[in-house]
Amino acid sequence: MGEIAEEMGVEIRLNTPVESLIFEGKTVTGVRIEGEEILADKTVVNADFAHAMKTLVPDEKRKKWSDKKLEKKGYSCSTFMLYLGVDKKYDLHHHQIYASSAYESNLKDITNHRLTWDDPSVYVQNAAITDDSLAPEGHSTVYVLVPVPNQHESIVWDDIKSDFRDTIIKQLAKVGYDDIADHIVSETIITPDDWGASDIYRGAVFNLTHDLKQMLWRRPHNRFEEANNLYIVGGGTHPGSGLPTIFESARISSKLVLADLGMRPDWNGVDSWFKDVKRPRVAARPSAQPQAIASNNGEGHAV
């Protein structure tokens, strides 16, 4: 995707955090990175929504999504991760989910910022059973995801992560990894505090919760309602979290940017706007119309 974008003239800068958005009144005119100002007709923010608001858009410019209101929103669970390298191959399924015998109380613990120590639910991935190239001959990788509460002052992960890790290693016996403790040759642990330190608000890796108050159009809108020329995209935005939905968010934001630039969204020669949804207003800028898109050979190009 990066290569295609570059062929089309996009300059990609990796490991270059945006320090701030440039505002002229209510209008975003670009971004500041490494002290440099990059001006743009339209700016799209893909960073975690609440984190982006708190770090890139000054509180006084936000009413609907002010810091105070963001505090009150619901945020998803987080995850405790073990990435294990083991000197053995397990003849077990690629994906396994172990559901706690106290499934409902495990879920309540997660939403009430309590850690389940007794029989937590666990997802385990044994991807090397499908793809040999993931580890050296005779070795494999085991990925363990435990749904846990998002960041909260009552849980200090540095104090407990080692004990929780031991609990989870024991838990793995329930899905067939009974001797895994003797075969671990490398190990990385990621806690909600690590996710939080990676620019994810409260370490809530699935973003704003999907409840009736925060779903679909009740999420932050892709054409951001509190600033001109600013678009947002990703799990914390409309229509919602989860990768297929996030791709849809990207499609919607792209269409809105194109429409607002006076370009008909038209990919692969197909007019892809939703038939039953009103089109965004397309500005009258004939010179900005896409030049040529039609391609019916399956190798379409966006313009």
Ligand X SMILES: Cc1cc2nc3c(=O)[nH]c(=O)nc-3n(C[C@H](O)[C@H](O)[C@H](O)COP(=O)(O)OP(=O)(O)OC[C@H]3O[C@@H](n4cnc5c(N)ncnc54)[C@H](O)[C@@H]3O)c2cc1C
Least distance CB 12 / ligand X (angstroms): 12
CB-nearer residue toward ligand X: 102 or 250? 250
Least distance CB 242 / ligand X (angstroms): 4
CA quadruple 248, 251, 257, 262: dihedral sign: negative
What DSSP designation does 166 have?
A: H
Distance CA 130, CA 112 (A): 37
Q: Which residue has the closest beta carbon to ligand X? A: 234
CB-nearer residue toward ligand X: 6 or 199? 199
CB-nearer residue toward ligand X: 54 or 264? 54
CB-nearer residue toward ligand X: 41 or 199? 199
Least distance CB 48 / ligand X (angstroms): 6
CB-nearer residue toward ligand X: 233 or 263? 233
CA quadruple 129, 132, 134, 139: dihedral sign: positive
Least distance CB 205 / ligand X (angstroms): 4
CA distances for 58 relative to 35, 38, 81, 159, 226, angstroms: 18, 19, 33, 34, 11
The contact set with ligand X (CB under 6 A) reads 17-18, 46-48, 79, 81, 145, 199, 205-206, 234-235, 241-243, 246
CB-nearer residue toward ligand X: 145 or 263? 145
Distance CA 116, CA 58 (A): 38
Distance CA 173, CA 195 (A): 27
Least distance CB 112 / ligand X (angstroms): 21
Instruction: Identify the CA nearest to 157 among candidates 78, 83, 227, 236.
Output: 78
DSSP character string of 216-253? GGGSPPSB-TTSBTEEE-STTSSS-SSHHHHHHHHHHH
Least distance CB 17 / ligand X (angstroms): 4
CB 97 within 8 A of CB 121: yes
CB-nearer residue toward ligand X: 145 or 175? 145
* Residue 256 neighbours by CB distance under 10 Å: 19
Least distance CB 199 / ligand X (angstroms): 4
